[in-house]
Structure 1
Amino acid sequence: MKILFIGGTGTISMAVTRLLAEQGHEIILLNRGSRNIELPENVRVIQCDISDEADAARKLEGMSFDCVGEFIGFVPEQTERDYRLFSGRTKQYIYISSASAYQKPPSDCVITESTPLANPYWEYSRNKIACEEYLMKLYREKGFPVTIVRPSHTYDERSVPLGVHGRNGSWQVVKRIMDGKPVIIHGDGTSLWTVTHNSDFARAYAGLVGNIHAIGQAFHITSDESVTWNQIYSIIADELGRELKACHVSSEWLAAVSDYDLEGSLIGDKACSVIFDNSKIKRAVPGFRAEVRADRGIRQTIRYILAHRECQRDDEEFDRWCDKVVSAVEQSKKAMQ
C-alpha cells in the first residue's frame, strides 16, 4: 500500500513508520525533517511544514494514497485543512486522537469506545474531541473514510512514563532518584494506570491500515495491563538500584501550585483510575495483544536512557520546583504536630 504520514517521527508514529516499512509498504512522510535521520532507508520524505497549506498542496499535487495518517493534528483547523488536501485522494484517513478525551471523572473505571467523550479539565482533550466530531460528521455526510485512534499513555525507549515531570521530559525525575532525592507521586500512588509500549501500539495501528472494518470507527489501543503509580516509580528505582523516596501529594494541590498544566494532565487524565477494554481493536485486528509488560518495558527504557546522553536533558527549573513542593509538604506535617 501507498501510505502518507503527516509527522511520522514521534513517539507513536516512529514505531508505526518503522513497522509498516518493514512490512514492505510504500511509506511517505510529510514533515519538517527534524528527526528524519533515524528513518529506515526505504522511507521517502517530503520536507514541508503542513501549516503552509499552499506549499503542501503543491508538493502533493497529483498524488493519491491508500491511507493518510495524521499524527500531529491537535485542533479542528488542522483537520479541516487535511480534508481540503486529501478529500478524494485517499482510501482511508486515520486520525490520532487521545484516550484523555474520555469522560473525566469517569462514571465507570472500565473504558470502552462507547464511553462518553467529555473532559472539562484539559483543553488539549476538548480540542481532540472537536476534531473527532468534525471528522465523523464528514464521514456521515460526505463519506470521507475516517478512522479514529485513541492512544493512552504510550512510551518508547527515550522517555520513562511518569505522572509528574517538567518541560524537558522524564530525565530529571530519573536523576532525582539516582541522587537520592524525593520524587513527587500524585495522590497516594495507588490509582490504576495503563502504559503502552509504542511497539505494541504500532502492531495494532498497522492492522487498521487498509482494514475495511475500521472505516467510520473509533478504537483505543492500549495494553491490557493495569499498574499503580507506586509500582511504576518503584520499577524505575529498582532498575537504578536506588531507594524510592516517594513524596505523595494531592493532585488538586499540585495543579494549584504548578505552572506545568497539571490540572489537565493529572485531574483530566492521570489521576483517574482507568482500565481499558480492548475488545474492539482485537476484533478488528485478530491476534493483536500487547506483549511488552510494564516492568520490562520501563527497565529497557531506563537502560537506553542511561546509555544515551542525548536523552539526559537536565531541567533545573523543575528540580527546584520539586524541592519547593517537598519542603512545603514537610513543613505542613511539622505544623500539624
Structure 2
Amino acid sequence: MNVLIIGGTRFLGPYVTKQLVKLGHNVTIFHRGQTNCTLPDSVNEIIGDRNNLKDLRQQIQHLSIDVLVDMFPYSEQDAIDVIESFSDVTKRFVALSSVDVYQAYGRLIGIEKGEFTTDIMTEESPVRTVIYPYRAISKEDDWQYHYDKILVEQQFMRNSSVPSTVLRLPMIYGPNDRQFRLSQYLKTMKTSNEITLHSTEAKWRTSRGFVENVAHAITLASVDPKAANQIYNVAEDFAFTELEWVKTIKEHYKWDGQILVDEAAVVLDGFNPEQHLVISSKKIRDELGYKEIVPFEEGIQQTITWELANAPE
C-alpha cells in the first residue's frame, strides 16, 4: 500500500510512519523540513508547505496513493484544500480530529450551555453547537481563530468524493510532546513537597492516550478498508481522575511529597472540572482490533523520563 502523510515529523507522525513501514507499506511524507526526526531510510520525503498544495500535487501525481493521512487539518479550509487537491489521486482520506468536537468539551471550557455530565461519550454523542472554540481568545491572524475540528470532520465525511476516516484523539502524552502534559506536576514535585488540588478538580476525569498507542490506532485505521466512512474515538480504556493521575505521576517519579485536596485551591480559569471528558474507544477496538502496544506503566515512565530531560526552563 502507498501512503502519503501530510505532516509526519512531529510527535505522532514519526510513530505512525515507522509502524506503517514496519508493516511493509510505502510511505511518503510531506512536511516543512523544520523538525528533525529519524525516519526509516525507505521513507520518501517531500519538503513544502500545506498552504501551497499545488507543489505537492505535482510531485505525487505520478504515484498511486492508496491512503492520504492528514495529521493536522486545523481549519475547514485545510480540509477543503486537501479534498480538492487529492480526491482524484487517492482512494481514501484519514483525518485526525479531537475530542474537543464534543458538546461536553464546550461545557468544559465554558462556551456551551447545559448541565454538566459524567457521561462516557461514544462516536454518536452530541457535538458542540458553538463552533470556533478559541475565537474569543485569539486574533484573526492566529491559527486558533479559524480552528474547528467539527468543520474539518464535516468536509471529509460529507463533501469528499472518496471515502474518509476520522479519528477523534484524546489528550496525548509521551516523548516529544511539546505541550509537556505532565510538567505542571513534575515542576512542583521537583521544588516542593506538596501539591494541592481543588476538590472538584481532584474528581475530574478525562481520557488520555500514550503517543505510540495512539499512533497504532492511526496506523490500523489507515490500512484497514473497514475503516472507510467511519469515525473512531481513540483513548485508553480507563480514565483516571485528576487525583489518580497525580498519584500515578508521583509513584513513577518516586516523589515522597503529599497530595492535598482543598476547597480553597485555585482552579484554572475557563475550566469547569464538573464536566468530565471521557470517551469510549470500544468501536475501534471491536471493529479494527485496536489494543495498546505499549503497556501503561512503560508509557508513563517513558514520558516522565523524557519530560525531565527536555522540559524548558
- Between the two proteins, the alignment pairs up a number of residues equal to 290
Check the 8 A contact 1:31/1:48 in 2, yes or no.
Answer: yes
Check the 8 A contact 2:194/2:257 in 1, yes or no.
Answer: yes
Offset from partner CA, 1:63-86 (integer Å, 9 cap, x none): 330100001110011111101211
Residues 14 and 292 of structure 1, relative CA distance in 2, 3 Å threshold: same
Q: Secondary structure at the match of 2:251?
A: helix
Quick one: which amino acid aligns to residue 67 of structure 1? V
Q: Secondary structure at the match of 1:157?
A: coil
- Structure 2 partner of 1:201: 214
After superposition, residues 228-247 of structure 1 pair within 5 angstroms as 228-244=241-257, 246=259
After superposition, residues 295-334 of structure 1 pair within 5 angstroms as 295-306=297-308, 309=309, 311-314=310-313
Check the 8 A contact 2:173/2:181 in 1, yes or no.
Answer: no
Residues 201 and 168 of structure 1, relative CA distance in 2, 3 Å threshold: closer
- Structure 1 partner of 2:56: 56
Alpha-carbon separation, structure 2, partners of 1:285 and 1:241: 37
Residues 93 and 38 of structure 1, relative CA distance in 2, 3 Å threshold: same
- Structure 2 partner of 1:31: 31
Residues 226 and 85 of structure 1, relative CA distance in 2, 3 Å threshold: same
- Structure 2 partner of 1:115: 125
Cα distance, 1:45 vs structure 2: 0.8
After superposition, residues 257-296 of structure 1 pair within 5 angstroms as 263=270, 266-267=271-272, 272-286=275-289, 288-290=290-292, 292-296=294-298
Alpha-carbon separation, structure 1, partners of 2:192 and 2:14: 34
Alpha-carbon separation, structure 1, partners of 2:268 and 2:305: 31
Cα distance, 1:56 vs structure 2: 2.8
Check the 8 A contact 2:226/2:288 in 1, yes or no.
Answer: no
Check the 8 A contact 2:21/2:40 in 1, yes or no.
Answer: yes
Alpha-carbon separation, structure 2, partners of 1:34 and 1:170: 25
Check the 8 A contact 2:117/2:274 in 1, yes or no.
Answer: no
Alpha-carbon separation, structure 2, partners of 1:91 and 1:208: 14
Residues 210 and 292 of structure 1, relative CA distance in 2, 3 Å threshold: closer
* Structure with the bigger percentage of helix: 1
Cα distance, 1:60 vs structure 2: 3.0
Cα distance, 1:48 vs structure 2: 0.8
Quick one: which amino acid aligns to residue 32 of structure 1? R
Residues 130 and 180 of structure 1, relative CA distance in 2, 3 Å threshold: same
Offset from partner CA, 1:212-236 (integer Å, 9 cap, x none): 3221111111110121111211222
**Greater Cα offset, 71-80 or 12-21:** 12-21
Residues 107 and 234 of structure 1, relative CA distance in 2, 3 Å threshold: closer
Alpha-carbon separation, structure 1, partners of 2:238 and 2:181: 24
Q: Secondary structure at the match of 1:313?
A: coil
Alpha-carbon separation, structure 1, partners of 2:65 and 2:203: 46
Q: Secondary structure at the match of 1:144?
A: coil
TM-score, length basis structure 2: 0.81
Identical counterparts, % of pairs: 21
Cα distance, 1:130 vs structure 2: 0.9
Alpha-carbon separation, structure 2, partners of 1:240 and 1:225: 21
Check the 8 A contact 2:205/2:240 in 1, yes or no.
Answer: yes
Offset from partner CA, 1:293-315 (integer Å, 9 cap, x none): 54442223112333xx4x1212x
Check the 8 A contact 1:157/1:301 in 2, yes or no.
Answer: yes
Residues 118 and 12 of structure 1, relative CA distance in 2, 3 Å threshold: same
Quick one: which amino acid aligns to residue 146 of structure 1? S
Unaligned runs of 5+ residues in structure 1 are 161-166, 257-262, 315-337
Offset from partner CA, 1:153-174 (integer Å, 9 cap, x none): 12222449xxxxxx77644642
1:176 aligns with 2:175: no
Quick one: which amino acid aligns to residue 188 of structure 2? R
Q: Secondary structure at the match of 2:103?
A: coil
TM-score, length basis structure 1: 0.76
Residues 126 and 109 of structure 1, relative CA distance in 2, 3 Å threshold: farther
Alpha-carbon separation, structure 1, partners of 2:22 and 2:274: 37
RMSD across aligned positions (CA):
2.9
